[in-house]
Structure 1
Amino acid sequence: MADRKEPLLIKRYASRRLYNTETSDYVTLEDISGFIRAGREVQIVDLKSGDDLTRQYLLQIIAEHESRGENVLPLNVLTDLVRSYTTDVTSAVPQFLAQSFEMFRDGQEKMMQGLGGSIPGLGAVQAQQEAFVKAMTGGMGSLGAPWPVASSEAKTKETSRESEDLDAIKKQLSELQDKLSKLT
């Protein structure tokens, strides 16, 4: 399903039911969420007016997950997003978020390609991803178990390097937050 280039077209009827045009059946928000998790792009349009409703439905999916206690967005991130709608920073926020998630996706793809623990700089990439996930989840997220390391000495060096990298990332995030605060 993720290999297709064109988005999956979902039509919303006047009854607010959502219709999958590929499988000719009705779908729920949870189904749409599953399509997206599987890597498929979706487009939701109003059958009568032709208006693109994708953004509003994606926000609804996020709101439902958050209301069920599946908190991915920390309170301070949500607060900053609300603030960004009322300031001149609005134009920078979408670009920042898009680039952040692109970096996150790229890192995930590299990890999924079966990279081993002996690749130079892998610890730094993993530390950056961990810091990003922690920032996005308020410290509750994790990318999983650490990469295997050949010896305990190498593991100690790698942990030290990761700790230094994580500290540098935390400092950069703090500086970015300060800059964003000053802009508001």
Structure 2
Amino acid sequence: MADKDKPLLIKRYASRRLYNTETSDYVTLEDISGFIRDGRDVQIVDLKSGDDLTRQYLLQIVAEHESRGESVLPINVLTDLVRSYTTQATSAVPQFLAASFEMFRESQSKWAEGMSQMNPMMPKIPGLEAMQAQQEAFLKAMSGNMGKSWSAPEKDEAASEGGEDLAAIKRQLAELQQKLSKMDK
């Protein structure tokens, strides 16, 4: 049985084929993307040199999704990313991105928690869990290991901001429910 806590090890052969060491079969980039969407971490290494190629392949997966019109990153963000490689700000960019994605993840989690607390009898939104897993995998891929070096804000500040966010989300949800009720009539 595979250990879901450890990254799935994928070996790249000289022929550029990717080999899943757990299932002993060859995989594609789309397969790897699926593993990540399912919440699994992956590590891709070159068989001969032992070099870690994970970042390279994750960027390739993102580029392929973007080229197919599944755009997540706005042009200005992509432009700023390219610009950050040519400036002195390079050292601050990874920490900033990791912090931003971590705050986004927390906000998403609070929203989902608020939704379930507001109306436990309300049916689950189809695809919500899959969407959350996909976004989490994307954020993890984008932030890499930078999130480990970022320290979270003080609990009091986060709690007070989270309370305001939750109240706003509840208000918006109530408005949406009213609009949906009117549409059903």
Displacement of 1:20 in angstroms is 0.7
Does the aligned pair in 2 maintain the 1:13–1:47 contact within 8 Å?
A: yes
Give the aligned partner of residue 60 of structure 2: 60
Give the aligned partner of residue 40 of structure 2: 40
Does the aligned pair in 2 maintain the 1:13–1:46 contact within 8 Å?
A: yes
Give the aligned partner of residue 8 of structure 2: 8
Give the aligned partner of residue 83 of structure 2: 83
Give the aligned partner of residue 116 of structure 1: 117
Q: Secondary structure of 1:11's match? A: strand
Select 2:173's aligned residue among 128, 147, 154: 147
Matched to 2:107, the amino acid is G
Take 1:151 and 1:28, find their aligned partners in 2: how far apart are those partners? 42
Take 1:120 and 1:36, find their aligned partners in 2: how far apart are those partners? 31
- Give the number of aligned pairs: 133
Does the aligned pair in 2 maintain the 1:116–1:148 contact within 8 Å?
A: no
Residue by residue over 1:132-167, the C-alpha shift from the partner in whole angstroms, topping out at 9 and shown as x without a partner, is xxxxxxxxxxxxxx5346997xxxxxxxxxxxxxxx
Take 1:69 and 1:39, find their aligned partners in 2: how far apart are those partners? 23
Structure 1: unaligned runs, 5 residues or longer: 128-145, 153-184
Larger RCO, structures 1/2 (Cα 8 Å, 6+ apart): 2
Q: Secondary structure of 1:43's match? A: strand
Displacement of 1:117 in angstroms is 3.9
Does the aligned pair in 2 maintain the 1:116–1:147 contact within 8 Å?
A: no
The percent identity for this pair of structures is 73
Matched to 1:23, the amino acid is T
Residue by residue over 1:20-65, the C-alpha shift from the partner in whole angstroms, topping out at 9 and shown as x without a partner, is 1111111110111111111111100000110000000000001101
Q: TM-score, normalised by structure 2?
A: 0.63
